[in-house]
Structure 1
Amino acid sequence: MIEQFTQELIQLIKTLPPASIYLVFLAIAYLENVIPPIPGDVLVAFGGYLAAESVVGVVPVLILTTVASVFGFMTMYWIGHRWGEQIEQKQKGVRVLRYIPVEYLNKVRSWMQKWGMGVVLANRFLAGTRSVISLAAGLGHTRISSTILCSTISSVLWNGILLGFGWVVHENWRLIGEYLSIYGKVILGVVVLYALIRIGIHYYRK
């Protein structure tokens, strides 16, 4: 379903004038932080291909996707700041957020207690955890200025890498999506393995 949505969106983008393409990238970069299944990374790589074809400018795409990513991150930060405790306690009034796994949220909070803003700085590189990290940052009431700075740096680096790869591989930009899928699975595996090791150490010490 996600792949079909991606293909349809790509076909739509190909028919749009440059100004509208920029708006699509802006919207996707924002929404993929709020609605994680949206394949924002693949589309940023596609943006690199379009830039290589001189359809759009690589710098405007980088700026727009970075700004939108930060706004998306801070939207989830605000939700965590405003309703974080209700999310943790699964209280009424936040039904739309009940899909958030509390155990996962607590795990990310433990990361932040250990590594601080480094988790926010690395958030774009931690596939599958971005929304949870922003929620955890809001729940932990991290300093807004530092949070914006770290999320901006993370977005610039990650989006820049994707755009660069899309530019270099050109017509083969779809391969980036396959590598991103593998990368995401590796990151998820590392996270699960880390969690299991910590649980094992905890019970061993007890």
Structure 2
Amino acid sequence: MADQIVQNIIEWISVVPPSGIYLIFLGVAYFENLIPPMPGDVLVAFGGYLAAEGVIALFPIWSLTIIASVLGFMTMYWLGHKWGEQIESNRESHFILRFIPYKYFKRGKKWMSRWGQGVVVANRFLAGTRSVISLTAGMSHLKITPTILSSAISSILWNSLLIGMGWVIRDNWPIIGQYLSNYGKVIIGLIVLFIAGKAYFSYMGKNSRGNEQKE
């Protein structure tokens, strides 16, 4: 499915003028924050390849994708800020919970309370959790200006990496998708292990305290 989306967009890009290409990438970088299955990272890397080939300019595609990424993040932040109380009070049937289980929001809020803006800075590097992070940032009512700055830093670092990779490897840019897929699996696996380890040590700590009280 994701490969087909990428192929369709690439075919579309091949027949539009440079001004249209910029608009396409603007839309891709924005909507991939709202529609997690969209393979936006691969397409941003493709933008680096197009810049290397001289089809489009490097700085405009870099800056536009960063601006769009921040706008997308802050759109989800706004949704979390606006609907956060309703989600909390209606955990079984709120429309957002049809797409993202509440347990992810609960976990995201714990991250926010512990690491705050650090989670927002890291969000672009945490594959599979971006929408949850942006929504929970809004639900947690993080201050807007620092959140925008943190999101911008995250987008600058991540998009620079993707576009740079596309620029350097050029015709072989599709392999970036394979690396990103493996990277995403590793990140999700590490997050699962971290949560499982934390739960285990918390459980063992409670048991140890319980045994001490009995003695």
SS at match of 1:37: coil
Inter-partner Cα distance in structure 1 for 2:81 and 2:70: 16
- Partner of 1:140 in structure 2? 140
- Partner of 2:150 in structure 1? 150
SS at match of 1:122: helix
Tell me if structure 2 keeps the 8 A contact 1:73–1:134: yes
- Partner of 1:161 in structure 2? 161
Inter-partner Cα distance in structure 2 for 1:58 and 1:41: 16
Structure 2 unaligned spans of 5+: 207-215
Give aligned-pair identity as a percent. 58
Shift of residue 204, structure 1, vs aligned partner: 1.0
Supply the RMSD in Å over aligned alpha carbons. Answer: 1.2
- Partner of 1:9 in structure 2? 9
Question: Mapping of 1:40-189 within 5 angstroms?
Answer: 40-88=40-88, 89-90=90-91, 92=93, 94-189=94-189
1:136-188 Cα shifts (integer Å, max 9, x gaps) = 10001000000000000110111011000000000000011100000000000
Partner amino acid, structure 2, of 1:200? Y
- TM-score, length-scaled by structure 2: 0.92
Inter-partner Cα distance in structure 2 for 1:101 and 1:170: 39
Inter-partner Cα distance in structure 2 for 1:203 and 1:14: 56
- Partner of 2:210 in structure 1? none
Aligned residues: 205
Shift of residue 15, structure 1, vs aligned partner: 1.3
Higher gyration radius (CA): 2
Shift of residue 97, structure 1, vs aligned partner: 4.5
Inter-partner Cα distance in structure 1 for 2:204 and 2:11: 54
- TM-score, length-scaled by structure 1: 0.96
